[in-house]
Structure 1
Amino acid sequence: MFQQSWLKKRRWLLLILVLIGIVSIGFTMHNQRFYHQPIAKVVRVGKTGRARRTSDQFKNIDHQYDQRLVAVIMNGHYRGRRLTLTNTYSDSQPMDQRFRVGDQVFLTQLHQHRGTLSANIAGYKRDTVLVTLAWLVVTLLLLMMGRSGAWALVSVIVNALLFMAAVTLDLNENGEHVLPIFSVLTVIFAFVSLLLVLGPSKKMLATFSATVIGTFAALGVSLLVFAWTHERGIYYESMQYVTQVPRPLFLAETLLGSLGAVMDESSDIIATLFELKQLEPTVSARQLFMSGRNVGKSIMGPLINVLFLIFMADTFTSSLLYIKNGNSWGYTFAMNMSLGTVQSLVSGIGIVLAIPLVSAFGALLLGRRAK
């Protein structure tokens, strides 16, 4: 009965989404003419050369192979022309790829010499894969969550645009006001996300207040600890590809990461308190506060562990590379994992502080004073 009702409500939406998916994926498979960079499709893979054994000073062993590929150019002045490409890949494939028939690749340095075309491979054409994954995410979100999923999708798009605007402003300011810019962005992120998802309601007001206060309180506590310890053990120089002063960037990154964790926890607690209020309209403010604390204590541990695993997973590959190249565990942790650990701890502080805050806000807005 439930499945029939669900299919009846969603069948037109499902049909529209399927049509959009077919059109989008089909377009990305045949949109080569809209690219300025030359694109070629591999039509034949020649015989792969013999493996060449390579090793380094740390006795890491790998094997390299040479490929000869025949490809057809699919756009530009030489559209329809064939050319032979060479490709070198290894077993580990850290910075290279093995190509197969049907793969579409970008070309660089394409030119003609005595009637023969030559070029180098720049990488895969991946737009079809990206569009397919995006379509799957949107489809599942809309089918499973309905209107709430649509508003959540809108909030993600709006936040992405706001983030791009903040990054552009930071670049225009040459990184001189990175922390104030992203502090304001944090408040805007929280307000826009909760307003679109929860609507203008008491639930949104309580969640927003607890999220903002908990996030900035966590950053304030961390700054006090940094000042007390003189930031010993924090290696800002391990931040990769940083062209600005790394410390403000690290604090801005920590602020945004803590915001996500605190907002997640606050939304869960507030949603539980509102459900409790609907089931028991006469519940008192004290009972709501204690219920919020109990919910927070239940989800606090798993949420902190999830954050820790996310930060550690981000440095997993580089840490393996450091250890495999003869570096000690201590040096590997300091150069790869220390900043992620600090961010996890700051987010954990925000999670802990948010529990009494969101419980108190929920109790004040929803509670009924006992006679």
Structure 2
Amino acid sequence: MNTALILLIILFLLMFIVGGKLGLRSFFTLIFNFISLILMTILISINFSPIKITLIFCTIISIITLFYINGINKKSLSALISVLIVVVLTLLITYKIGSNAKIQGFGNEHAEDLAFLSLYINIDFSKIIFCEILIGLLGAIIDVSISISSSLYEIHKNNKFISKYNLFMSGMNIGSDILGSMTNTLFFAYIAGFMTLIIYFNELNYSLTSILNSKVFCTEIFQSLCGGIGVILIIPITSFVTSEILNSNFVIKFSRKINL
């Protein structure tokens, strides 16, 4: 039996045993997201706009992940709106910086791998790097956003008279506790993929200056810093959006009609 299939079965069993029905939903959401990323890659490879396609699939993945796992309710709606705002803001903040940094494409270290491949693929790699950033960021900000919105939802549920400001500040306090661990998670996730290349650099006797100025190293650092920006932004935005939605008369009336 294929090793990947065995690991997939183990993952399925563990998620079912530990999480029950919610664990099953999470597993099927994971499979859906995997298929979505493959489809997104195919569409980009046949010359659809990388940025537009990534934004569309970020929206689809966020909707399925939040509403299918957590249900259609005000906390999921708050998290979805916050995630989409942060995705767009992160793209706007990093796009110009990344374009000027010239970190897209391949470095000298990839020359041997590219020797037998065609370079005439007609894809703009200056945009691909931002697609990678947004997809790498998405899981982290969804996690942070739903954590904050769920906490604020419970606070509001137990104290209907809490003000928007106090609810917002509660979200900021909750987010500050999450911030440190989540930025570390993003950093190590990106750097872990770079460990093999560090060993390769060491064997070739690269100097520290050469490593710090190599394109592949700068790309990993750039992605981890952009991820950190997104995680920071999601905290105040989720706190604000959730406090507004939970205290909005229009949303309260609308949610009663559709049983949110």
What range describes the TM-score normalised by the shorter chain of this pair? 0.7 to 0.9
The equivalent of 2:25 in structure 1 is 151
Decide which of 76, 89, 94 is 1:204's aligned counterpart: 76
Q: CA deviation at 1:280?
A: 2.9
1:297 aligns with 2:176: yes
Query: TM-score normalised to the size of structure 1?
Result: 0.60
Higher strand share: 1
Sequence identity percentage: 23
1:236 Cα shift? 3.4
TM-score, with structure 2 as normaliser: 0.84
1:194 and 2:66 aligned:
yes
Work out whether residues 26 and 69 of structure 2, in 8 Å CA contact, stay in contact via their aligned partners in 1: yes
Deviations 1:270-303 (A, max 9, x none): 1211222233333222211000011111111221
What amino acid maps onto 1:179 in structure 2? Answer: I
Question: Displacement of 1:211 after TM fit?
Answer: 0.5
CA deviations over 1:299-337 (Å, ceiling 9, x no partner)? 112211111111111010111111221111222232432
Contact 2:40 2:54 (8 Å CA) reproduced: yes
Deviation, structure 1 residue 226: 4.0
How far has the Cα of 1:170 moved from its partner? 2.0
Letter in 1 for 2:207: S
Q: 1:260 aligns with which of 139, 162, 167?
A: 139
Partner of 1:337: 217
Distance 1:327 1:245 in 2: 30
Counterpart secondary structure, 2:72 = coil
Tell me if structure 2 keeps the 8 A contact 1:210–1:358: yes
Residue in structure 1 matching 2:188, options 309, 313, 319:
309
Q: What is the correspondence of 1:171-250 to structure 2 with a 5 Å cutoff?
A: 171-173=45-47, 177-226=49-98, 230-231=100-101, 234=103, 236-238=105-107, 240=110, 244-250=123-129
Q: How do residues 123-138 of structure 1 correspond to structure 2 at under 5 angstroms?
A: 127=2, 129-138=3-12
Q: Which runs of 5+ in 2 are unaligned?
A: 250-260
Could you tell me how far apart the structure 2 residues matched to 1:156 and 1:319 are? 31
Q: Distance in 1 between matches of 2:89 and 2:227?
A: 11
Bigger-Rg structure (1/2): 1
Q: Output the CA distance in 2 between the equivalents of 1:330 and 1:210.
A: 39
CA distance in 2, matches of 1:136, 1:213: 36
Q: Distance in 2 between matches of 1:296 and 1:163?
A: 28
Are the counterparts in 1 of residues 22 and 69 from structure 2 also a CA contact under 8 Å?
yes
- Name stretches of at least 5 consecutive residues in structure 1 with no aligned partner: 1-27, 29-126
- Cα RMSD of the aligned pairs, angstroms, is 2.2
* Mapping 1:342-361, distance limit 5 Å: 342-361=222-241
Deviations 1:327-358 (A, max 9, x none): 11222232432111111111111111111110
Looking at structure 2, the residues matched to 144 and 285 of structure 1 have their Cα atoms a distance apart, in angstroms, of 36
Conserved in 1, the CA contact under 8 Å of 2:90 and 2:229? yes
**Cα distance between partner residues in 1 of 2:25 and 2:148:** 20
Query: What is the number of residues matched between the two proteins?
Result: 238
CA distance in 2, matches of 1:321, 1:327: 9
